[in-house]
Structure 1
Amino acid sequence: MKWIKISLILVVSGIVYLSLKPPSGGVEIKINDKVGHLIAYSVLTINAGLLFPRNKWVFAALCSFFLSCMLEYLQGFVPGRTVDWKDLIANFTGVVIGLVILYTFGSQTLKTLKKIKLVE
C-alpha cells in the first residue's frame, strides 16, 4: 500500500496547491476549470478508495467531497479567489464518477497491483 499512499499524498498536495494558490501564481491550467475539478476529484476518490476495503469506499468518497468543501470555503480567504458552488457540483460529480469506477474496477485493480508487487 506504500505506493498508493505516496500517490494519495501527491494527489492531495496537488489539489490543495491548485485550489489555494492565488490566481497570479505560476501554474496556469489551460483546460476548462470544471473539467479539471471533475478529473481531480475522480482521481482522488479512486486513490483514496484503494486504501480501504470495498465496504469503506463510500467513506473514502465522503472524505474526498469533504476535502473539496473545505478547500472551496478556504478559497474565500485567498486574494483573487472566490467560492463557487458550480465548483462543488463539479467536485461532487468527480467523486461520484470515482466511486463508480472504484465499484467497477477497484477489486481488479488491487489484484493487478498485488500481482506486479506495487501493493502487499
Structure 2
Amino acid sequence: MIFIFFLSSWSAFATLQSPKGLDKIFHAIMWFVLCFLTRRAFFFQERFGWLRRHDIWAALMATTLYGGLDEYYQSFVPARTSDIADVVADFTGALLFVLLFLSGGRLRRRRENVEEV
C-alpha cells in the first residue's frame, strides 16, 4: 500500500507516456497482488475471527475501497487526475484474484474427493 501511495503522490509519474490502456493493465496487476497480500494478512491474523472467516471477501472490499480512496487522493495531487476507469481496473484485478482463488479451492476439493474414492 505504501508503494501505491508513493506512486499516487509522485507528480512526475503522471507525465510518463504509455500506450493507451497500458495503465489499466498495470492497475489490474497491482490490485491483483494487493488483494493477494491483503487476503493473506486477513487469514493469518488471529485477533479478529470474523475477518479470518471472510478473508477473501474482506480483501476484495478493502482493496476496492483503497482503490477508490487512491483515485480521490490523486485528484488533489498536482499534475494527477482522478479516473473512475482506474477504480474499475483496480476492482477487476482484485476480482480476478478472488475468482482464481475460489476456483483453485474447488479444484483442490475435487482432487481430494477423487483420491478418497
TM superposition score normalised by structure 2: 0.69
> Which letter does structure 2 place at the counterpart of 1:94?
G
Shift of the alpha carbon at 1:105?
4.0
1:20 to 5, 9, 13: 9
Partner of 2:108: none
Match of 1:92 in 2: 91
5+ residue gaps, structure 1: 1-11, 107-120
Letter in 2 for 1:84: D
Q: 1:29 to 1:49 in 2, by over 3 A?
A: farther
Q: Which residue of 1 aligns with 2:67?
A: 68
2:24 counterpart (14, 30, 34): 34
Aligned Cα root-mean-square deviation (Å): 2.6
Residue segments in structure 2 that go unaligned for 5+ positions in a row: 44-51, 106-117
Percent sequence identity over aligned pairs? 29
CA distance in 2, matches of 1:104, 1:50: 17
The structural deviation recorded for 1:55 is 2.9
Count of aligned pairs? 95
Residues 45 and 29 from structure 1, CA distance in 2 versus in 1: closer, same or farther, beyond 3 angstroms?
A: farther
* SS of corresponding position for 1:68: helix
Question: Which has a greater percent of helix?
Answer: 2
Find the structure with the greater CA-based Rg.
Answer: 2
- 1:91 counterpart letter in structure 2: D
Structure 2 letter corresponding to 1:45: C
1:50 aligns to 2:40 (yes or no): yes
TM-score between both structures, scaled by the size of structure 1 = 0.68
1:104 to partner: Cα distance: 3.4
